[in-house]
């Protein structure tokens, strides 16, 4: 078993993540990490990252078969730092309509729905969205640009996206940033307590994406200090 004094972040390997790019991004900002499917390591880790690329239903099936659902929820229940990326963000929600509908982790109430394929003028929309798009801060979120995982990220900054589905949260106060794609405005980052998640891929978003990892590393330290009190 890896020494978690030296590997404080667990990157969850459930067969559907962009694992090595995420680990490389962690290393670039000084975060020590281990790629793992061991639920004991996940529970012991100071922070966990749930990446993801692919189908929602397959992802939940893999997490269930590998007995990782309980470990993820227990980690979050202990108010430890969590970072979800792309599909890893969508899995936090109650359910997805993808391929007939699937239940999610239900950590945050909401649904995952597909982008419209036709715009208001009847023109076909390219789905999935692939490429760079802008993120705009949600003014009603209690965390500002200066004290969230997106601190020092300018309003309207470009990040890299690859997705066909987006999240709709029941409580809009958890929406940290919004993004517009064709006719749809959607949640591109969320923040609730120790849970942060992004629809975009920070590990593919250049220097600003690395800033997200650096900020998240700082939140790990802050949460760890609070839990010691």
Q: Which residues are catalytic?
A: 86, 201, 203
Nearest by Cα to 213 from 200, 224, 226: 200
State the residue for tokens 């900054």.
Answer: 157
Residues forming beta bridges with residue 135, ordered by sequence position: 157
How many CA atoms lie less than 13 Å away from 58 in the CB half-sphere?
A: 9
Do 34 and 56 meet the contact criterion of CB atoms below 8 Å apart? no
- Using CA atoms, how far residue 182 sits from 11, 15, 77, 153, 195, in Å, is 33, 31, 37, 23, 28
Residues with Cβ within 8 Å of 8's Cβ and at least 6 positions away in sequence, in order, are 31, 32, 33, 45, 46, 47, 220
Around Cβ 54, how many Cβ atoms within 10 Å? 13
Around Cβ 57, how many Cβ atoms within 10 Å? 16
- Using CA atoms, how far residue 143 sits from 120, 174, 177, 191, in Å, is 34, 9, 11, 8
């Amino acid at each position: 078993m890896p020494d978690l004094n030296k590997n404080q972040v667990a990157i969850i390997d459930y067969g559907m993540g962009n694992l090595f790019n995420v680990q490389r991004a962690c290393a670039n900002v000084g975060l020590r990490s281990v790629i793992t499917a061991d639920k004991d390591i996940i529970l012991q880790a100071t922070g966990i990252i749930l990446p993801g690329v692919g189908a929602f239903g397959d992802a939940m099936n893999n997490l269930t078969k590998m007995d990782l659902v309980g470990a993820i929820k227990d980690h979050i229940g202990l108010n430890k730092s969590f970072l979800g990326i792309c599909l890893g963000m969508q899995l936090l929600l109650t359910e997805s309509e993808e391929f007939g509908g699937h239940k999610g982790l239900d950590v945050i109430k909401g649904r995952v729905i597909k982008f419209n394929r036709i715009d208001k003028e009847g023109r076909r929309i390219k789905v999935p969205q692939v490429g760079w798009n802008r993120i705009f801060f949600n003014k009603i979120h209690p965390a500002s640009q200066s004290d969230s995982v997106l601190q020092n990220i300018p309003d309207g900054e470009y990040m890299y996206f690859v997705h066909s589905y987006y999240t709709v949260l029941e409580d809009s106060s958890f929406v940290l940033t919004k993004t517009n794609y064709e006719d749809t405005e959607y949640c591109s980052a969320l923040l609730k307590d120790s849970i942060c998640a992004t629809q975009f891929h920070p590990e593919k978003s250049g220097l600003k994406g690395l800033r997200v990892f650096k900020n998240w590393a700082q939140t790990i330290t802050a949460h760890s200090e609070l839990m010691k009190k």
